[in-house]
Each structure stands twice: as structure tokens, then as C-alpha cells.
């Protein structure tokens, strides 16, 4: 067959360079050139020297095309060949008529039935641009005429490959921006101005711990009852740290279904499961360069705990459906209201993860233990909620209302106080806030006058030992420091340890697991 090379070049170039979707352009080119060069499959492949892998940019067959990137390992012999310098297009033929020639393994790894193949490694302006692989299902022998026709397409093929790679990168960045925009919009809807009220009073010791740990990258474990403000303390740590310019990503581990935990935390690749139409970055990747706050860490499934442990140890994650780990640089702050030590005993939480997270524990006291902060908190919530409710003026507090607030035991802590203030603003819109609907604290059961006193008194040593245990529980097992058990009891650390030895009260690293806050 007589071939007009000019017509062939023009028509093939129009097809390969006529569509930004490189897979569709590749298929159009395949359907045209197969009349001149035996071809049933075609694919653009590039070499990644740092990973020592091939990556597909686009593949096409007679019936379909795809841009899903596939990675293929490179053998030592192939690496040596790839390092060989060349300035003109290099064409390699693999066919059944070449005795002793090793067949190309790439078509097989791509799942293509192959009897013969021809590969052109393109060169543009002296730079290698990747390769085009053409595969035939039939036993054919590629001729010098085929080689000459394919060589003539070196430049349009190289341009198409370059444009395809750039276009893919632009699309990836666009998807990332759309993804980030959607995420930030969701976060902005939840965002409220938060500041630490009581930093100089009831939370003074907590804020001292925040100042100590903020400059570091060590994980922090926040412990305390529900509603004490663990997220506010986590934000205070982030905004006081060198990572303040980075993202602060919040994750409520108890609000994610077990089937979606891996995808939410670590992300997934396109096609990893039904409905995974595109690559999605997980919360850890979003937190890169910043801080991730894992609230309710005790609700995390055991399988996810294993993967979280890997993040802490290796600073790597692996997306669902991914084949290679992804490096992440983020600080982890975890929070819980549960007794993790008890969960370890019950097989619900991993002990190795617990000690990884508990490098710097901070126990946040409940509101009933720092009632000195209540007046400041009430004033803050009145200002905040008045703006949210669009009130025309700032309400005042009735003279007797503060005593009522101070006498309440606040089982819901700061969150309950915030709700009480909002409810009072709704009820008493034009009057001073009285908080009349607030239930007073339940009185302690009184002892009847005629009730006989206990038969025996508690031994003094037992009372002292119990006081030491309570102090250790409040300090999270720490003896020294401003918030340590010795400071709480008004003793020197050496004196306290001496008493603990005498009374048989355990202490030290192995015993710290015993002194955690109980379940609330």
C-alpha cells in the first residue's frame, strides 16, 4: 500500500493534538493509524526516576480509553537502559519473529493481550518526553516502513504527552481547590469566636501546661468531662505554636461511622470503592503543616487505632485503595472524656496507642471545681448570644441570679452554662436575667439527729493514702510540677514519695495508668 506521508502526518497530528482529554485523543489516533500500523492498544507511559516506576498517563483500546494512572515497577536492566543517553527518538520492536528477544512486560501488566508491540521514546528539544506503546493482538512483524511512519510523529506525540501531563496537573489542582473550598465553607459555618475564659483563675494550671507544650510538636492528650472546653484548649495550643499559620482540622471520632473512618481520616483513591469517583484527601492530609484535633478518641474503632499508631510512629498514611504511603507533617491533639485505662483493660483501646498519645496529658477541671470563672463566663456568653440572637441591647443580671448560678453543680459544665444563658436571653428579653428555671444543686443527704455515730473511725494512714490517690488522679499520675500531686497536697516531691512508699501507694510510669479520670 502506497502511503502519502504528508497526509498521514497531518491526519494523525490533528487527532493526537485535537483534544485536551488525552485519553480520547489517544483513542482517535489509534483508530486512524491502525490502518497503517498494526495496533489494537496504545498507551502513554512516563518514567519516574525518584520512585523507579513507570506511570501511565493515558491508555486506549478500540472500545474504550482511560486516564487512571497505574504504577509499574522498573527492573534493574530497564533502569540501566533508561539511563542511556539519546538525542533522537528511540524505537524498540518486540515481535514473535525475533528469536531470543525478551518480550515487553508492560502490555501484560496492563492486562493487554499481546503478540507484538512497538515502543517509541519521544524527544523534544533534546529532552526525553516519555514513551508511546503500541500493541497488536495478532502475530505481526513491524517493518521499517512502520518505524518510519511512527518516527515522523515524534513531535506531535511529545507535544500531546506534555500537554496531557500539564492538563492533568491543572485538573488535580482544580479538584483540590474545589475540595478545600467546600471543606472551608463547612468549617466557616461552624466557626465561632472562641477564647479561653478563666486563663488567669480556674484554668491557670491548664494554661501553664499549654504554654509549656505549645512550642513543641509532641502529641497532647486532653482529658476531662464532657463540656469542659477541650476544643478551646486544643485551639489555644495550636494558636500558640509555630504551626499557627497552618490548618487546624477538627475530627469528632464518635460522629464518623465505622465504615467511613478510614476514608475520612486517610482519604481514598479514585475507584477504591463504589462511589469513589475521584481522589479525596483525608483529614490528616488537610492538616499537613498544622494541627489535627481528634475529639472523642476513645470512640475510634480498633482497626483505625492501628493505622493511627502508624501515623504517630512513621508520619505516614495510606489512602484507601492506595499502594504507596503518603508523608504527613501534622501535630496530633487528642481528647476524651472516657477512662482510657479502663478501656485498655476491657480490650477497647490499644495500650501502645495510649502511651503514644499520652506524652503530655492535660486534665481540664470541671466547672464545679472552678466556680470562680462563672461570672466571667456568663458575661462572655451574654455578649456572644446577644449578637447571635440579634438583641437590640445587652441584658443585665438580676442581683440574686449570680448566687443561683454559683450554687448549681453544673453536671454539663461550660456547655450547660452556655445553654442556660441562651435560654435565659430568650425568656427574659427585656428584663434582667434571673435564671429562675435553673435547678439548684441537690443537697447532700442529711444525717438524722437520732442516728448513731459510726462504730469505728477510719484509720489515719488509710485517710492519708486516699488523699494521695485523689491528688494523683487529679494530676494524671504526676508527682512533680505545678499541677503535680505534691503541689496539690502542699508537700515536697521527695516527702510525698517517702509517704507513698510507706503507705504502699504505687507511683512511677507503670502506675500512671491507674490514676486517670473515671468515666463521666
Residue 500 lies in a domain: yes
Same domain, 278 and 405: no
Same domain, 94 and 241: no
What is the domain range of residue 142?
5-167
Give how many domains the chain has, as a whole number. Answer: 4
What CATH number does the domain containing 420 carry? 1.10.8.60
Same domain, 469 and 407: no
Residue 121 lies in a domain: yes
- Residue 97: band (very low, low, confident or very high) from pLDDT cuts 50, 70, 90: low
Q: What is the pTM of this model?
A: 0.54
- For the chain, what is the mean pLDDT? 84
Same domain, 354 and 388: no
Residues ≥6 apart with Cβ < 8 Å to 413: 225, 226, 227, 228, 229, 366, 367
Same domain, 464 and 486: yes
Same domain, 108 and 241: no
State pLDDT tens for residues 384-424.
888 888 888 888 888 788 888 888 989 999 999 999 999 99
Same domain, 11 and 117: yes
Q: What is the average pLDDT across 70-90?
A: 84
User: How far is the C-alpha of 504 from the C-alpha of 484, rounded, in Å?
Assistant: 19
Residue 520 lies in a domain: no
Q: What is the average pLDDT across 68-84?
A: 84
User: How far is the C-alpha of 339 from the C-alpha of 515, rounded, in Å?
Assistant: 10
User: How far is the C-alpha of 401 from the C-alpha of 407, rounded, in Å?
Assistant: 10
Select from 167, 200, 219 the last residue of a domain: 167
Handedness of CA 223, 228, 230, 236 (dihedral sign): negative
Q: What is the average pLDDT across 429-453?
A: 62
Same domain, 326 and 399: no
Whole-angstrom Cα Rg for the chain? 34
Q: Phi-psi category of 95—alpha, beta or left, where left has phi over 0 and alpha has psi -120 to 50?
A: beta
Closest CA to 224 of 363, 369, 412: 363
Closest CA to 331 of 280, 281, 294: 294
Same domain, 12 and 133: yes
Q: State yes or no: pLDDT of 4 exceeds 70.
A: yes
Q: Output the CA angle 380-381-386, nearest 5 degrees.
A: 110
Select from 363, 386, 403 the last residue of a domain: 363
Q: State yes or no: pLDDT of 514 exceeds 80.
A: no
Residue 187 lies in a domain: no
What CATH number does the domain containing 40 carry? 3.30.450.40
Q: What is the average pLDDT across 504-520?
A: 59
Residue 403 lies in a domain: yes
Same domain, 477 and 383: no
Residue 317 lies in a domain: yes
Residue 180 lies in a domain: no
Q: State yes or no: pLDDT of 286 exceeds 80.
A: yes
pLDDT at 161: 92
Residue 177 lies in a domain: no
Question: For residues 333 and 237, is the Cβ–Cβ distance under 8 A?
Answer: yes
What CATH number does the domain containing 315 carry? 3.40.50.300
Same domain, 157 and 281: no
Q: State yes or no: pLDDT of 517 exceeds 50.
A: no
Select from 379, 407, 427 the last residue of a domain: 427
Which of the two residues, 139 and 194, has the higher pLDDT score? 139
Q: What is the average pLDDT across 440-445?
A: 50
Indicate the burial class of 238 (C-beta count within 10 angstroms; 0-12, 13-18, 19 or more).
Answer: buried
Question: For residues 462 and 468, is the Cβ–Cβ distance under 8 A?
Answer: no
Same domain, 28 and 124: yes
Question: For residues 399 and 436, is the Cβ–Cβ distance under 8 A?
Answer: no
Q: Output the CA angle 238-242-245, nearest 5 degrees.
A: 70
Amino acid at each position: 500500500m502506497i502511503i502519502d506521508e504528508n497526509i498521514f502526518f497531518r491526519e494523525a497530528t490533528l487527532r493526537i493534538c485535537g483534544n485536551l482529554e488525552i485519553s480520547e485523543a489517544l483513542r482517535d489516533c489509534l483508530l486512524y493509524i491502525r490502518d497503517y500500523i498494526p495496533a489494537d492498544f496504545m498507551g502513554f507511559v512516563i518514567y519516574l526516576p525518584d520512585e523507579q516506576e513507570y506511570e501511565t498517563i493515558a491508555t486506549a483500546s478500540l472500545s474504550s480509553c482511560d486516564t487512571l494512572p497505574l504504577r509499574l515497577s522498573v527492573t534493574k536492566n530497564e533502569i540501566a537502559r533508561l539511563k542511556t543517553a539519546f538525542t533522537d527518538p528511540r524505537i524498540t520492536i518486540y515481535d514473535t519473529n525475533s528469536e531470543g528477544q525478551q518480550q515487553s512486560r508492560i502490555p501484560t501488566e496492563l492486562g493487554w493481550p499481546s503478540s507484538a508491540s512497538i515502543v517509541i521514546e519521544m524527544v523534544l528539544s533534546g529532552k526525553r518526553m516519555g514513551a508511546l506503546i503500541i500493541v497488536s493482538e495478532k502475530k505481526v512483524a513491524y517493518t521499517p516502513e512502520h518505524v518510519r511512519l511512527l518516527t515522523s510523529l515524534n513531535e506531535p506525540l511529545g507535544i500531546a504527552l506534555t500537554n496531557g501531563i500539564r492538563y492533568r496537573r491543572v485538573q488535580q489542582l482544580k479538584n483540590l481547590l474545589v475540595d478545600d473550598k467546600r471543606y472551608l465553607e463547612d468549617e466557616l459555618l461552624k466557626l465561632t469566636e472562641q477564647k479561653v475564659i478563666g486563663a488567669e483563675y480556674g484554668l491557670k494550671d491548664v494554661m501553664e501546661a499549654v504554654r509549656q507544650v505549645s512550642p513543641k510538636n509532641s502529641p497532647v492528650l486532653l482529658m476531662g468531662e464532657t463540656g469542659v472546653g477541650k476544643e478551646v484548649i486544643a485551639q489555644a495550643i495550636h494558636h500558640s505554636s509555630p504551626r499557627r499559620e497552618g490548618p487546624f482540622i477538627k475530627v469528632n471520632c464518635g460522629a464518623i461511622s465505622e465504615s467511613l473512618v478510614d476514608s475520612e481520616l486517610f482519604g481514598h483513591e479514585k475507584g477504591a470503592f463504589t462511589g469513589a469517583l475521584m481522589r479525596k484527601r483525608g483529614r490528616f492530609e488537610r492538616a499537613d503543616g498544622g494541627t489535627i484535633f481528634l475529639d472523642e478518641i476513645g470512640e475510634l474503632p480498633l482497626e483505625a487505632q492501628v493505622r493511627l499508631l502508624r501515623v504517630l510512629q512513621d508520619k505516614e498514611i495510606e489512602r484507601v485503595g492506595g499502594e504507596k504511603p503518603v508523608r504527613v507533617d501534622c501535630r496530633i491533639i487528642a481528647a476524651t472524656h472516657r477512662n482510657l485505662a479502663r478501656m485498655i483493660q476491657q480490650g477497647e483501646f490499644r495500650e501502645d496507642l495510649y502511651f503514644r498519645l499520652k506524652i503530655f496529658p492535660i486534665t481540664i477541671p470541671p466547672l464545679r471545681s472552678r466556680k470562680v470563672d462563672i461570672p466571667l463566663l456568663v458575661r462572655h456568653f451574654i455578649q456572644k448570644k446577644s449578637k447571635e440572637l440579634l438583641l437590640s441591647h445587652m441584658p443585665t443580671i438580676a442581683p440574686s441570679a449570680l448566687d443561683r448560678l454559683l450554687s448549681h453543680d453544673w453536671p454539663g459544665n461550660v456547655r450547660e452554662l452556655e445553654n442556660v444563658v441562651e435560654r435565659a436571653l430568650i425568656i427574659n428579653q427585656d428584663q434582667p436575667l434571673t435564671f429562675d428555671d435553673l435547678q439548684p444543686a441537690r443537697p447532700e443527704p442529711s444525717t438524722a439527729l437520732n442516728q448513731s455515730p459510726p462504730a469505728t473511725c477510719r484509720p489515719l494512714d488509710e485517710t492519708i493514702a486516699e488523699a494521695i490517690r485523689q491528688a494523683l488522679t487529679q494530676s494524671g499520675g504526676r508527682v512533680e510540677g505545678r499541677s503535680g500531686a505534691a503541689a496539690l497536697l502542699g508537700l515536697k516531691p521527695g516527702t510525698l514519695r517517702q509517704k507513698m512508699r510507706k503507705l504502699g501507694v504505687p507511683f512511677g510510669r507503670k502506675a500512671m495508668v491507674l490514676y486517670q479520670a473515671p468515666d463521666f
